[in-house]
Amino acid sequence: MRQHQDTTGPSARNAPHPLLAASWRRCEDRYHLVPDVLRPILRYRQSEIRLRAERFADTLGDGAGHLGALGNAVAGGGGALLVSDVEQVLLPLSSAPPADEALVQRGIVPGSCWDERIAGTNGIQMALASQGPFTVRGAEHFFVGLRQFICCSVPLLDGDNRIIGTLTSAAVEQSAGAGQPLAAVVMQIAARRLQAAMFRRRHAGRIMLSLAPLGSPELDGAVNALVALDETGRILAATRRAARIAGSQRPDAMVGQDIAALFGVGLDRLLDAPGWFARSEGNHPSAIGLHVTLPIGIHAAPGFAPRATPDAGARMPPVPLLPRPGWTEAMAETEAAFRQGLPVLLIGETGTGKSVFAQTLHSRARAPVAKLVTIDCAQIEPSAEGRLRIRLVFEHALQTARETGAASTVILDHLEALGAAPQGFLVEILAMLEDQPETLRGVPAPRIVALCGRPPEALIAAGVLRDDLLYRMQGTRVVLPALREDAVALGETLIRLAQDAAGWNVPIREDALAALMAHAWPGNLREARRVIALACSRAHGGPIRLAHLPSYLSACGASAAACAPPEARILHALNAAGWNVSAAARRLGISRATLHRKIRRLGLGRPGSRPS
């Protein structure tokens, strides 16, 4: 080993750290560096530095913004924050100027390269070599010119646990004094926080499990001990720190495992725990705290797709729309409220067209890119799993709103079937969206359309529906009438359905129409569509007769014909006569003028053109 003036290096005086000694040996024996000559400085061109800095800032994401504040904090303690990439090139990412001109004089400036082969033993290179925090003090630097400094460096890991660079607090050793140990801690915390942010961004939209070694003396020790999970509790990714706390060799070894198997506690239980869940038994000798965060925040979520939340898309229903009584007026009124972002409550028996109405509302909202997602409340379990599903749907809606800039529509179908616990949870989400719009950070809030099969007041009285949920949901309300409530509309609908199914103006014989008109239609439009389709197929293209109807309708045909409401008979006559009023009047045995009067009084009209 070469002797040099000033002091001898660590290897010559029983190096305090074997890695330091090894570095010194390489510098002398392999790279033939001489400590007491001027350190050769390799400095990159401005254009190259800018490129490197941009790439690095992209990887850091939001974290890059925090480096300025960190730089100021380090400068306040008498040091300078140095940020290097993985090739040990200093980047101009910390806006704070170096605290001491000495750093500049020694070439510690953006673009300078701290590769050991040129710069000798130094903090940046030691942190990368040891893959952990490393402080190189004064005489431990290889080059004499650097021995006035103390450098605390930590490697910086990204969301995939790859080392992307280092953070260093550099200061003149004499003036750094007592502040320097603190600087080392600050660097570690900053690196952990930056990695946590990168990991969260990398796995945005995923359930995040945080781990903490309970009783750990470390300050802020668990901030980057993160595990990304799928909805079943299977591990998708983990940070190195999480793997260490979980007692796993490597993060990769955790991937695919179920947290229930690994920690002895399932996702459901963790979701029900209000805060940190202490895990002190099982395979792990030391106690671990576990905490789950659901992805309700507004994140970009690459590849995220919520489970069991079929996306109805902005499609119109695949059936030709029939005019429904009051529909046009209700649609006009509701559309205005809907565009303003007010929630819409649609009430009606099964099959009255609530979903069709909601989808029409969405597709007419003049935002073709907006997303439509549906939660079928009848399928939401009262467990934590159900809660999770609701959250995922809202997360998905917010994510697409963020990507497209257009508010998504969330349809809550079969609201009456939602259990008490998920109702409470829904209230929380709606309250957050409504009362804390700042949490959305400019992303348009989802528009809510709730569909309810029974009058909500009756549900509240029966203790089935929470009143605060109802009030959160009814910005405007529309009641879709049952088919039986309006005889004229029923007759017109049946005739239109028959025309659509047969493909021509197919007549419905009087006894068949009477039986159809006498039926209560508990399944409303859904049932009517099915019955008419069956009748048309049985009629083989000819007129629909009583015998073509399902038996539960044809059985009461004869008696029904006798007591068929007058409007049904008039409608039938008009239909049979192809809406020729004179011919229909003759069939009915009344005058043309009388028929005209009746048509006006009953508000009858030839089945009109289909709504667009």
Query: What does the binding site for ligand ATP look like in residue numbers (CB under 6 A)?
Result: 319, 321-322, 324, 348, 350-356, 451, 453, 525-526, 529
Positive or negative, the CA dihedral 564, 566, 568, 569 is positive
CB 393 within 8 A of CB 410: yes
Nearest residue (CB) to ligand ATP, 268 versus 486 = 486
- Min CB(553)–ligand ATP separation in Å: 18
Strands of 372-376's sheet in order across:
372-376, 409-413, 447-452, 344-347, 476-479
Torsion-angle region of 251 (φ positive above 0: left; ψ -120 to 50: alpha; else: beta): alpha
Strands of 207-213's sheet in order across:
235-238, 226-229, 207-213, 288-293, 277-279
Positive or negative, the CA dihedral 280, 282, 284, 285 is positive
Place of tokens 């002398």: 28
Nearest residue (CB) to ligand ATP, 176 versus 482 = 482
How many H-runs (helices) and E-runs (strands) does the chain carry?
A: 26, 15
Nearest residue (CB) to ligand ATP, 455 versus 542 = 455
Place of tokens 């040129």: 118
- Min CB(324)–ligand ATP separation in Å: 5
Nearest residue (CB) to ligand ATP, 306 versus 348 = 348
Q: Which amino acid is at 139?
A: A
Q: How far apart are CA 160 and CA 572, in angstroms?
A: 72
Nearest residue (CB) to ligand ATP, 314 versus 573 = 314
Q: How far apart are CA 603 and CA 180, in angstroms?
A: 89
Query: Which residue intervals of 436-503 are DSSP H helices?
Result: 456-461, 467-473, 487-502
Nearest residue (CB) to ligand ATP, 270 versus 525 = 525
CB 171 within 8 A of CB 80: yes
Find the radius of gyration of the CA atoms of the chain.
37
Nearest residue (CB) to ligand ATP, 37 versus 319 = 319
- Min CB(131)–ligand ATP separation in Å: 58
CA 8 to chain centre: 59
Nearest residue (CB) to ligand ATP, 143 versus 357 = 357
- Min CB(449)–ligand ATP separation in Å: 11
Nearest residue (CB) to ligand ATP, 84 versus 360 = 360
- Min CB(526)–ligand ATP separation in Å: 4
- Min CB(608)–ligand ATP separation in Å: 13
- Min CB(453)–ligand ATP separation in Å: 5
- Residue 150, φ and ψ in degrees, nearest 5: -125, 130
For 336-446, list the strands marked E by DSSP. 344-347, 372-376, 409-413
- Min CB(350)–ligand ATP separation in Å: 4
- Min CB(552)–ligand ATP separation in Å: 19
- Min CB(523)–ligand ATP separation in Å: 8
- Min CB(348)–ligand ATP separation in Å: 5
Helix (H, G, I), strand (E, B) or coil at 89: strand
Q: Is 501 exposed, middle or buried (0-12, 13-18, 19+ CB in 10 A)?
A: middle
Strands of 80-85's sheet in order across:
90-91, 80-85, 163-172, 149-157, 134-137
Nearest residue (CB) to ligand ATP, 250 versus 610 = 610
Residue nearest to ligand ATP (CB): 353
Nearest residue (CB) to ligand ATP, 236 versus 534 = 534
